Amino acid sequence: MNRALLVLFIALLALPAQAGTPNPTAPSKLYGWGHFAAEAQLGLGTPVGAAGAMFDADVHPDVSIGAGAGWGFGPQFAAMLRYRRGRVPLRWGFGLGATRGRAGDRVTDFIMGSPTYGPHWDPGWWVNLELFVETRYETGMRWRCSLGGTAVVNVTDCVWQSDDRLNGSHCSRSLPLPYLGCAIGFGR
């Protein structure tokens, strides 16, 4: 499973070489009001989980909003606001967003497919903060890689789970968790 995720992550990074060369002289053609894309996302702990899709729309040459869904510990739904800086072809920026979905707080939850021991939220509300780099091509292809962190907001809704049963005791805290992911998309 981990090897497959690593191979897909590397493939996402290598694929843009086939898309053509970004045009550094035409940023208004690649960014701005009316540009949108459908993106496939893959990563570890991203706002849409381990794998998902997001629709991203520019509301300004430097700002976009996105909404999507995916699968992590269960179905996850996310919304992100992203602010970009830098010059075309490679831009950087940060994003702020929210995620809602079933969640656990341990790496073993991801490997096992469901929380087996530890904190459990159903649903959990998470706040996400990320740094990213991205590029867009005149062909409509785009890619973005993100490094971020997420923290649960509804700590009091957490229930401690052990031996595949919810034992009813509540959690006292939740640690922020890092995430890493890449998105590749096509749009206009």
Tokens for 110, please give them.
Answer: 């991801």
What pLDDT, on a 0 to 100 scale, did the predictor assign at position 34?
Answer: 73
Phi, psi of 76 (to 5 degrees): -130, 145
| Cβ–Cβ < 8 Å for 71, 42 | no
Distance CA 147, CA 137 (A): 22
- Element of type H or E holding 78: strand 75-85
Give residue limits of the domains in the chain.
Answer: 2-20+33-187
pLDDT in tens, 103-112: 765 544 554 4
> Which residues in the chain come in under a pLDDT of 50?
1, 5, 8-9, 12-26, 107-108, 111-112
CATH code for the domain defined by 2-20+33-187: 2.40.160.20
Tokens for 93, please give them.
Answer: 């920026």
Of the candidates 125, 126, 145, the one whose C-alpha atom is nearest the C-alpha of residue 135 is 145
